Amino acid sequence: MIRFDEVTKVYRGTARPALNGVSLEILSGEFVFLVGASGSGKSTFLRLVLKEEKPTSGTIHALGQDLGHISSRKVPYFRRNLGVVFQDFRLLPNKTVFDNVAFSLQVIGKSAGFIHEAVPDALQTVGLDGKAQRYPHELSGGEQQRVAIARAVVNKPAILLADEPTGNLDPETSAGIMALLERINANGTTVIMATHDAGIVDRLQRRVIEVIGGRVVRDERGGGYKTQATPIIAQGFGAEGAS
């Protein structure tokens, strides 16, 4: 589903790679936590998958395509298969909940008929069916994140990328968001989530990829936030990235 082969990313004007020789594979249907200190390279990983950045060296395949060979004209089509959620929600403040979710479908040319079925469906999935006409400032943080998740999944993406989606939320609200992400994953969407939340990672016991200074130092299925166990390098991928 996603494969990194010896991927290194050095941002312009910087000396130290943000990602350094990362090789790994993420399979369809997996739920993966990306963990590591601030600045370790987690967001860079997600931006590379989205093709918002390109690697300095190495190759990335996602959904059967070599990202290096997708022309800029085709990038928007590629991105239709990916949903994205951020720590700060990024909703449009002057649009209702319904219109925030509908907007992402309008820009890709979906018909009004499609939108009027898909948006209520997505709002029901995230538990916000009664709040379609509210504005973002009339919602709690947890509800705003649910809108952002509805927007991310309304087009039924194969992959959901979440960059610290619970970073601004209290533990109880975070637990609700995690239950939602688990449900979305159980319905077949591959979920990759960057997080600093040790409690969540320990509780869910999913695959954990730990990055330090741009290198993958641990890739463990059923792992916690921190482990004393000998790292298991998933299926032979990532050995080169470990140090």
What residue spans of 57-197 are helical by DSSP H? Answer: 75-79, 97-106, 112-125, 141-153, 171-186
Q: Give the C-alpha separation, 224 to 203, whole Å.
A: 8
Does residue 40 belong to the site contacting ligand ATP (CB under 6 A)?
Answer: yes
**Per-residue x/- track, 168-197, ligand ATP (CB under 6 A):** ------------------------------
Does residue 51 belong to the site contacting ligand ATP (CB under 6 A)?
Answer: no
Q: CB-based contacts of 29: which residues, under 8 Å, 6+ apart?
A: 185, 188, 190
Does residue 43 belong to the site contacting ligand ATP (CB under 6 A)?
Answer: yes
Residue whose C-alpha is closest to residue 134's, from 118, 149, 123, 122: 123
**Per-residue x/- track, 115-154, ligand ATP (CB under 6 A):** ----------------------------------------
Residue whose C-alpha is closest to residue 31's, from 199, 222, 207: 207
**Strands of 2-9's sheet in order across:** 19-26, 2-9, 57-62, 65-66
For residues 85 and 162, the answer to whether their CB atoms sit within 8 Å is yes
User: Which amino acid, one-letter code, is at 220?
Assistant: E
The two beta strands, 82-86 and 19-26, are: unpaired
Does residue 223 belong to the site contacting ligand ATP (CB under 6 A)?
Answer: no
**Bridge partners for 7 per DSSP:** 22
Does residue 41 belong to the site contacting ligand ATP (CB under 6 A)?
Answer: yes
Choose between 212 and 232: whose C-beta lies nearer to ligand ATP. Answer: 212
| Identified binder of ligand ATP from the candidate list 2, 20, 24, 44, rule CB under 6 A | 44
The footprint of ligand ATP on this chain (CB under 6 A) covers a number of residues equal to 11
Q: How far is the CB of 69 from ligand ATP (least distance, A)?
A: 23
Q: How far is the CB of 222 from ligand ATP (least distance, A)?
A: 23
Q: At what angle do helices 112-125 and 97-106 cross, to 10 degrees?
A: 130
Does residue 15 belong to the site contacting ligand ATP (CB under 6 A)?
Answer: no
Q: How far is the CB of 51 from ligand ATP (least distance, A)?
A: 15
Does residue 20 belong to the site contacting ligand ATP (CB under 6 A)?
Answer: no
For residues 1 and 27, the answer to whether their CB atoms sit within 8 Å is yes
Q: CB under 6 A: which stretch of 10-18, 140-148, 181-189, 235-243 binds ligand ATP?
A: 10-18
Q: How far is the CB of 52 from ligand ATP (least distance, A)?
A: 10
**Site for ligand ATP, rule CB under 6 A:** 11, 14, 18, 36, 38-44
